[in-house]
Structure 1
Amino acid sequence: MKNHILKGISFVFHPLIMPLLGVLFYFSKTPRFIPEPVRNAKIFSIVILTIILPILLFFLLKTINKVNSIYLRSTRERLIPLFINCVIVLLILLRVLPSNEIFELYYFFLGILCSTLACFFMAVFKVKASIHMIAASGFFMFAVALGIHYQININGTIALMMIVLGAIATSRLHLKAHTNQELIIGMLTGLFPQLLCMNYWL
């Protein structure tokens, strides 16, 4: 039972959903007026590009034996998916969330791009970082920044995300997917780019 719960945590909080959670959190908290059709169009585009497209590409890569599982356990397996993800995020920055429209989300995805590039280069040099922790800690830092930026109380979100981060780390350790060091590297790789990007919009 415990094993199934921890596997479920890794699945529910998969890195693919974190960019969408960041977008949804932003739209739920921002006091700026953004027309509903614009919001819906942005959300729809993010779902297509960050969830549906990567899943389809994963099955393609699996068919041609470039990856074995969705968890990308080896650094070699990670190279092509991470490179593809960098291209997708760059496309989002150029076409979906340019800096002159919603600058907070632009810098959120710029941070995601930096984290993904860092993870890619680490994989090139056979260094493995937890992508789960990269994605979750990046979202956590963005949520904290939004709370500061808009001067709103997000203590509940912060507490919940700390629990989620702990649950993800426990899950990855229990499933022997990562070591403590890989989890820490992942968390820092997710946090620091968001911290750096905060200087440009906070």
Structure 2
Amino acid sequence: MKDFILKSISFVFHPLIMPLLGVLFYFSKTPRFIPDPVMKAKVFSIVILTIILPVLLFFLLKTINKVDTIYLKSTRERLIPLLINCIIIILILLRVLPPNEILELYYFFLGILCSTLACFILAVFKIKASIHMIAASGFFMFAVALGVHYKININGTIALMMIILGAIATSRLHLNAHTNQELVIGMFTGFFPQFIFLNYWL
């Protein structure tokens, strides 16, 4: 039962869903008026580009033996997926969330791009960072910043995210997917780009 729960945590909080969670969280908390059709179009585009497209590309890479599992266990098999993800995020920044529309989400995804590039560079040098922790800590920093920016009480969200971060770290350690060092590297790789870009929108 314990193994099932910890494996489920890694699956449910997979890095692919974190950008979408960030977008949904923003639209649920922002006091700005954004028409429903615009929100639905943005969410639909994010689902297609950050979840469906990467999953389809994963199966393509698996078919040609470039990756083994969706968790990308080795630094070698991380290179192509991370590079593809960078291209996808650049497309989102150019076409879906340009800075003149929703500035907060633009910098959120710019932070994701920087974290992904950092993870790619680390993988080139055969340094493995936890992508789960990169994605979760990036979302956590963005959520905290939104609470400060709009002066809204998100204490419940912060507490829940801290529990989730702990659960993800425990899950990855239990599954022998990462060492403590790789989890810490992942956490800071996700956290710092979001923190740095606060100067441009907070």
Question: Which amino acid in the other structure matches residue 52 of structure 2?
Answer: I
Deviation per CA, 1:107-159, whole angstroms, max 9, x where unpaired? 00000000000000000000000000000000000000000000000000000
Superposed displacement of residue 199, structure 1 = 0.6
4+ residue runs over 4 A deviation: none
**Cα distance in 2 between the residues matched to 1:144 and 1:16:** 20
Superposed displacement of residue 21, structure 1 = 0.1
Question: Which amino acid in the other structure matches residue 70 of structure 2?
Answer: I
Question: Which amino acid in the other structure matches residue 192 of structure 1?
Answer: F
Counterpart residue number, 2:126: 126
1:47-86 alignment to 2 at 5 Å? Answer: 47-86=47-86
**Cα distance in 2 between the residues matched to 1:94 and 1:198:** 20
Question: Which amino acid in the other structure matches residue 47 of structure 2?
Answer: V
Counterpart residue number, 1:88: 88
Counterpart residue number, 1:10: 10
Superposed displacement of residue 50, structure 1 = 0.1
**Cα distance in 1 between the residues matched to 2:198 and 2:20:** 19
Deviation per CA, 1:65-107, whole angstroms, max 9, x where unpaired? 0000000000000000000000000000000000000000000
Counterpart residue number, 1:138: 138
User: Residue 197 of structure 2 aligns to a residue in which SS?
Assistant: helix
**Cα distance in 2 between the residues matched to 1:197 and 1:84:** 23
Counterpart residue number, 1:165: 165
Task: Figure out how many residues of one structure are paired with residues of the other and give that number.
Answer: 202
Question: Which amino acid in the other structure matches residue 197 of structure 1?
Answer: F
Question: Which amino acid in the other structure matches residue 96 of structure 1?
Answer: V
**Cα distance in 2 between the residues matched to 1:50 and 1:95:** 14
Counterpart residue number, 1:191: 191
User: Residue 40 of structure 1 aligns to a residue in which SS?
Assistant: helix
The CA RMSD over aligned residues, in Å, is 0.2
Question: Which amino acid in the other structure matches residue 85 of structure 1?
Answer: N
What TM-score, normalized to structure 1?
1.00
Percent identity of paired positions between Structure 1 and Structure 2? 85
Question: Which amino acid in the other structure matches residue 2 of structure 1?
Answer: K
Superposed displacement of residue 45, structure 1 = 0.0
Counterpart residue number, 2:41: 41
Unaligned runs of 5+ in 1: none
Counterpart residue number, 1:155: 155
Unaligned runs of 5+ in 2: none
